[in-house]
């Protein structure tokens, strides 16, 4: 493994071991609050994470400015006016935030009247997307989709109070589907997911995870059996 | 004073056991590569990128919300493993890749992964970081709107979403479906899986996304970790069955054991 890959792997390994030790063990010296020395180390690691994230946000902002200013200078059809608007909004927010403070009335008004309202609007539009998705999903195409239609309609009916008044059995069936069938399936997915995360963690700590370090060379694969 | 934290002793024992399973299987895999169950979604990646090449449209990729410092970080890393593979396919097929970024910490990693794909293919001059890796916003619905904007303006032929997704999952899946993109989605967040299942063409459920990197790399030792985690699953299954039986006969042994 090259030095470029070895250093991140070593950092990840050491940090992961310290964080796990803090979760499972109480190692001396222990403070009066019952915290071991690893607690302070983990707090420091978390602070480093916050600092690095803040730097990364600056990196993101540079990327944003570079990408959109190129579109403005090239007058990219269908894009440049949005890019210009984005940069204007970023400048307005930055100027008001820096000059008046992020907790000032002026900044709060600007945030609530624009960003907050727009976010709520996008979130609300989810209702329409769910309806159109449901319309396509509830079609009787084969056995699996048939089961899906029946189960979906029972759960839908269970959540409609008028129907459960006249057909109380729908409430019982709906509860059985949600509380027994769905919950057990969800727990199966959760257990599998947790084991998968542990496995991925080990691969990351041993430098074999491609998502973290990029593709492994044949030499780095260690000459094991190849498919 | 106890060195082990009460209530976490059994969890530690299980973690050590799973570690042993995985490390042992990594060594065993050097002798013989374990066989994989087919993951149709991952096998379809060349077809998806090929479609984009035929239509002369880009491939869109995103890893959803979350960051590298939270509990969903493994999902994010799993998404990046697929990104590395998709970037390689895109470079080979001559297709533009757009990676929409929510978490700026991921940008340097993603930039390196995509750049590596171009360099390996001998086309470093074709790599434009700002075009391929786009930071949109670290606010959920601003990011969601920006991704929808990319979908509407640039009309990607394929959309790949692997990572932790929240309320934006349905917005993405529906928007890309409307513009005719072929879609692969994968997440370990249970509440979003049904949304992806009803709309997307291919789906990776839960642990399948963690196996993606190993599946695509064909690296024997990575494959060994997958078999190791299957051993862990067998232990979990045995504990569940024992727990059900012992609880049914009035014993709280398993419950007490898990609470140690």
Give chain A's mean pLDDT: 87
User: Which residues of chain B does A82 touch, with a Cβ-Cβ cutoff of 8 Å?
Assistant: 149
Q: Which two tokens stand for residue A143?
A: 């056995």
Among the partner-chain residues B29, B109, B225, the one whose CB lies closest to the CB of A203 is B225
User: Which residues of chain A does B112 touch, with a Cβ-Cβ cutoff of 8 Å?
Assistant: 214
Q: Which two tokens stand for residue B218?
A: 């064909």
User: Which residues of chain B does A133 touch, with a Cβ-Cβ cutoff of 8 Å?
Assistant: 170, 173-174, 195, 198-199
Interface probe, candidates A13, A197, A222, chain B, greatest B C-beta count within 10 A: A197
A211–B78 C-beta distance less than 8 A: yes
Helices (H), chain B: 9-31, 40-43, 45-55, 73-93, 107-120, 129-132, 140-154, 168-178, 193-199, 207-217, 220-248, 253-258
Give pLDDT, residue A221.
Answer: 64
Residue A29 CB contacts under 8 Å (≥ 6 apart), including other chains: A36, A37
- Our CA-based measurement puts residue B184 at a distance from the nearest CA of chain A, in whole angstroms, of 16
What is the CATH code for B40-217? 3.40.50
Task: Judge whether residue A33 has pLDDT over 80.
Answer: no
Half-sphere exposure of A187 (CA within 13 A, CB side): 9
d(CA B52, CA B16): 45
Q: Which two tokens stand for residue A139?
A: 């079609």
Q: Where in chain B is the domain with CATH 3.40.50?
A: 40-217
Among the partner-chain residues B140, B216, B233, the one whose CB lies closest to the CB of A192 is B233
The partner residues of A36 in beta bridges, in order of sequence, read A30
d(CA A73, CA A79): 11
A222–B30 C-beta distance less than 8 A: yes
A57–B207 C-beta distance less than 8 A: no
pLDDT tens by residue, B144-201: 999 999 999 999 999 999 999 999 999 999 999 999 999 999 999 988 999 999 899 9
ipTM rounded to 2 decimals: 0.86
pLDDT tens by residue, A90-149: 999 999 999 999 899 999 999 999 999 999 999 999 999 998 888 888 888 889 888 888
Which residue bears the tokens 């983990």?
A42
Is the CB of residue A192 less than 8 Å from the CB of residue A185?
no
Distances (CA, A) of A119 to A39, A88, A116, B219: 37, 19, 5, 43
Q: What is the mean pLDDT of residues A197-207?
A: 87
B113 closest CA partner among B150, B141, B84, B81: B84
- Asked whether the CA dihedral A199, A205, A206, A212 is positive or negative, the reply is positive
Report residue B20: phi and psi, to 5°.
-60, -45
Residue A10 CB contacts under 8 Å (≥ 6 apart), including other chains: none
Give pLDDT, residue A226.
Answer: 46
Give pLDDT, residue B189.
Answer: 92
Percentage with pLDDT > 90 across chain A? 49
User: Which residues of chain A does B203 touch, with a Cβ-Cβ cutoff of 8 Å?
Assistant: none
Q: What is the mean pLDDT of residues B67-78?
A: 89
| Region for B193 from its dihedrals, namely left if φ exceeds 0, alpha if ψ lies in -120 to 50, beta otherwise | alpha
SS3 call for B141: helix
The neighbour count for residue A152, using CB atoms within 10 Å, is 17
B206–A24 C-beta distance less than 8 A: no
B22–A67 C-beta distance less than 8 A: no
User: Higher model confidence: residue B66 or residue A43?
Assistant: A43
A212–B77 C-beta distance less than 8 A: yes
d(CA B81, CA B66): 16
- Our CA-based measurement puts residue A208 at a distance from the nearest CA of chain B, in whole angstroms, of 7
Confidence of residue A169 (pLDDT cuts 50, 70, 90): very high
B216–A210 C-beta distance less than 8 A: yes
Task: Judge whether residue A227 has pLDDT over 50.
Answer: no
Task: Judge whether residue A191 has pLDDT over 70.
Answer: yes
Interface probe, candidates B16, B39, B206, B241, chain A, greatest A C-beta count within 10 A: B206
Task: Judge whether residue A202 has pLDDT over 70.
Answer: yes
Give pLDDT, residue A216.
Answer: 66
Q: Structural domain boundaries of chain A?
A: 138-207
Which residue bears the tokens 């396509």?
A136
Q: Any idea what DSSP says for residue B102?
A: S
Task: Judge whether residue B1 has pLDDT over 60.
Answer: no
Is the CB of residue B222 less than 8 Å from the CB of residue B213?
yes
A211 interface with B at CB cutoff 8 Å:
yes
Give pLDDT, residue A137.
Answer: 81
Instruction: Name the residue in chain B with its Cα closest to that of A197.
Output: B74
Dihedral over alpha carbons B215, B218, B220, B221 (to 10 degrees): -60
Q: Which two tokens stand for residue B206?
A: 């839960």
Give pLDDT, residue B35.
Answer: 82
- Burial classification of residue A57, based on how many CB atoms lie within 10 Å of its CB (0-12 exposed, 13-18 middle, 19 or more buried): middle
């Amino acid at each position: 493994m090259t030095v470029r890959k070895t250093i991140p792997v070593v950092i990840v390994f050491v940090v992961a071991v310290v964080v796990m030790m803090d979760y499972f063990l109480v190692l001396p010296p222990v403070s009066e609050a019952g915290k071991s020395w690893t607690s302070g180390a983990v707090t420091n690691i978390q602070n480093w994470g916050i600092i690095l994230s803040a730097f990364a946000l600056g990196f993101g902002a540079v990327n944003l400015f570079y990408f959109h200013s190129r579109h403005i200078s090239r007058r990219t059809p269908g894009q440049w006016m949005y890019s210009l608007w984005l940069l204007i909004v970023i400048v307005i927010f930055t100027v008001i935030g820096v000059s008046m403070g992020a907790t000032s009335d002026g900044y709060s008004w600007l945030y609530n009247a624009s960003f907050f309202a727009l976010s709520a609007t996008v979130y609300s539009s989810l209702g329409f997307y769910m309806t159109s998705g449901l319309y396509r999903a509830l079609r009787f195409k084969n056995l699996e989709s048939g089961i899906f239609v029946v189960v979906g309609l029972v759960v839908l009916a269970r959540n409609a109070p008028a129907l459960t008044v006249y057909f109380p059995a729908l409430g019982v069936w709906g509860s059985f589907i949600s509380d027994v069938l769905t919950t057990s399936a969800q727990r199966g997915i959760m257990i599998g997911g947790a084991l998968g995360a542990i496995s991925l963690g080990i691969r990351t700590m041993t430098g074999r995870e491609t998502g973290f370090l990029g593709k492994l060379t044949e030499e780095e694969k260690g000459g094991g059996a190849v498919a | 004073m106890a060195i082990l934290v009460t209530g976490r002793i059994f969890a530690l024992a299980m973690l050590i056991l799973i570690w042993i399973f995985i490390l042992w299987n990594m060594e065993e895999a050097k002798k013989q590569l374990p066989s994989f169950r087919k993951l149709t979604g991952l096998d379809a990646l060349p077809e998806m990128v090929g479609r984009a090449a035929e239509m002369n449209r880009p491939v869109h990729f995103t890893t959803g919300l979350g960051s590298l410092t939270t509990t969903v970080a493994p999902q994010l890393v799993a998404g990046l493993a697929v990104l590395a593979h998709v970037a390689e396919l895109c470079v080979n097929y001559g297709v533009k890749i757009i990676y929409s970024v929510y978490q700026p910490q991921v940008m340097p990693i993603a930039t390196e992964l995509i750049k590596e794909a171009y360099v390996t293919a001998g086309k470093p001059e074709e790599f434009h970081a700002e075009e391929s890796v786009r930071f949109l916003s670290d606010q959920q619905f601003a990011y969601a709107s920006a991704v929808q904007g990319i979908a509407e303006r640039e009309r990607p032929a394929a959309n790949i979403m692997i990572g932790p997704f929240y309320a934006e999952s349905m917005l993405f899946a529906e928007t890309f479906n409307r513009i005719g993109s072929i879609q692969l989605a994968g997440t370990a967040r249970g509440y979003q899986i049904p949304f992806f299942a009803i709309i997307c063409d291919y789906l990776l459920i839960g642990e399948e996304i963690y196996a993606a990197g190993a599946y695509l790399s064909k690296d024997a030792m990575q494959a060994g970790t997958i078999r190791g985690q299957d051993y862990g699953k067998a232990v979990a299954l045995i504990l569940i069955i024992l727990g059900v039986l012992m609880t049914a006969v009035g014993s709280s042994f398993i419950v007490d054991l898990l609470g140690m």
